[in-house]
Each structure stands twice: as structure tokens, then as C-alpha cells.
Amino acid sequence: MLSIIICSINPDYLSAITISIDQTIGVPYELIAFNNKNDSKGITTVYNQGVAKAKYEHLCFVHEDVNFCTNEWGKKIIEQFKDTDIGLIGVAGSKYKAMIPSGWRPGTTGRFTKINMIQHFKYSNKTKTHQNINSENESLSHVACIDGLFFASRKSILQKIPFDEVNLKGFHGYDVDISIAIGQHYKVAVTYDILLEHLSEGNLNAEWITSTLVLHEKWGSKLPIVIGEISKIEKMRLEIRTFKNFLKICKKFSLFPKAFYALELSGIKKSNYLAYLRMRIMLFNYYPHRILERKIFQ
């Protein structure tokens, strides 16, 4: 039995996913849907309310713009949680969580990315793609963090390790945060036994930058998180790629000081000074010296 928790702002999407769940889940369930269109509560608050309201032990949190493709996926979730070492299961994640502020994926290579879903593109003209990266041919892969579009856990775990309403008040960062929090005590995993469609890609904005920095202020001492082996050179490359991605997002919203702060916050300077210098050079390449001096030293 499963409790499905959804934070909704679109009645049409909610109606569609309700039908999809009912036709595919394969086990008794309850749907706990919160109409957040007018209330605009942070997703951490909504999800904690869902946990409190849920009557079943196994909980699923899902975005409303999702369509399930796998029949009896509810049975698969319950079966995988028979391993009591597992505390969180998603359909997309990464075996490496960078020191540089980032979401669950930016900067990681195919070897570290674990994902199985059909991605649609609402904000571009790209054709939908089945993203299936499973380099080790697993049915369940141990990861550092997961994507928030779909994940499952136990009520007993989330009562002890709730979503962080204090630090994360918007709609970003909650997935990586709960991954790291639960990951301190249990395994976090990506399942390949469930396929779903995500009807829109993530849309990063200035709020995402702020939430990601808050997330790294909280967890910086625990980063990086690595599942498996990684060489020092490979780690440096991942961090540099992650910083390049963060720079691009900051540039898009004219938030250069955030990029500078992210680099200093990361701790890269102490752990790998060469990588730090390369990132400082990237800063100067992205922003004219006069703008750099004005924003930092005024």
C-alpha cells in the first residue's frame, strides 16, 4: 500500500496524473494532493504536511506533470524497500554530489549519472528522449542524490528526517537536501524497474541559485559525496564542469557575485588549489574586469 503525495498548481495535470496512477500502480493506495496554486507554500512545507497526513508506511512524492509507463510500479517500490538499508528511491540521480553548488546532475559524466525516464521538452523544440543511463546494468543503483520529479521513502524515516522548511522555503533544492539527509543513515538509490514520462524539463531561475547556495551552506562539510571510486583528476574535472555550468546560470540572471561566492563557499581552494585557480580564470573569462572589480570591491 502506498501514499502518493503531490503538490499541485495545475488542475488539468493533476487530473491526468490521477488517471495514470490509478491505471498503473497495481496496489491499494491513497492520493494526497495539495492545491498549492493560491497558497504558494514551499514544497518542503507541503511535503511535510503530506507525510503527517499519510496513512501508509511507503510514501511516493511526484510532480504532477508525470505519466507512468510501467504497470504495477507500486509493487516494485514496495519490493525494493524490503531492503531495510534503503531509505530513498528515485528514477534519476548521480553517484557524485559536487562541492561546487549544483543540483543533482550538473557536471557529472555518464559513469556517475543514473537515470531511466522519458523526458519531454516544454521550453525548447527538442524531441522527447528516453534517457536511460545504466553503465553497470543494474536494476537498483546506489547514488549520492536523486532528482525530485519522483521519489519514494518510508513514513517512519521522514518523521525522523523531515523536509527542511527552515532553510528551503521555495521549490528548489529540496531533493538534494533530503537525499543528503537520508543518505547520512540509509542508502539512496535509483531504480531502473520503473519508467515514467516527465512532461517538462527543469527550469532553473534566480531562486534556484539562492536555494542551491543555502543548501551548500548547510551541507558543505559533507561534500563531495562519492559512491564508488573516483580518481583525483576525474574529481577535479567534475568540479570544474560543475562550476562552468553554475557560471552560465549566474550569467543568465546577471548574478556574478553569486558565482564568486559559490566558488569561495565550496572549499575547493583548500582541497584542490589547482582546480580553484582554473575556476578563478573562468570567472575572469566570463566577466569583464571592470564589472568584476565594481561588484566585488565597491
pLDDT digits (tens, 9 = 90+) for 156-166: 999 999 999 99
Place of cell 553517484: 95
Q: Which three cell numbers stand for residue 130?
A: 528516453
Residues 6+ apart with CB under 8 A from 152: 2, 58, 59, 60, 61, 77, 81, 88, 89, 90
Least confident of 52-61, 80-89, 134-143, 198-207: 198-207
- Per-residue pLDDT reduced to its tens digit, 32-45: 999 998 888 999 99
Q: How confident is the model at residue 288 (pLDDT cuts 50, 70, 90)?
A: low
CA pseudo-torsion sign 54, 55, 60, 65: negative
pTM check: above 0.85: yes
Cα 297 to Cα 281: distance, rounded to the nearest angstrom: 18
Q: Which three cell numbers stand for residue 218?
A: 548547510
- Per-residue pLDDT reduced to its tens digit, 143-153: 999 999 999 99
Q: Which three cell numbers stand for residue 28?
A: 491499494
Angle (nearest 5°) at CA 90 between 89 and 94: 105
| Spans of all domains in the chain | 2-228, 231-298
The torsion of the CA quartet 22, 23, 24, 27, rounded to 10 degrees, works out to 50
Cα 177 to Cα 268: distance, rounded to the nearest angstrom: 20
Q: How confident is the model at residue 16 (pLDDT cuts 50, 70, 90)?
A: very high
For 19, what's the count of Cα atoms within 13 Å in the CB-facing half-sphere? 6
CATH code of 2-228, in short, is: 3.90.550.10
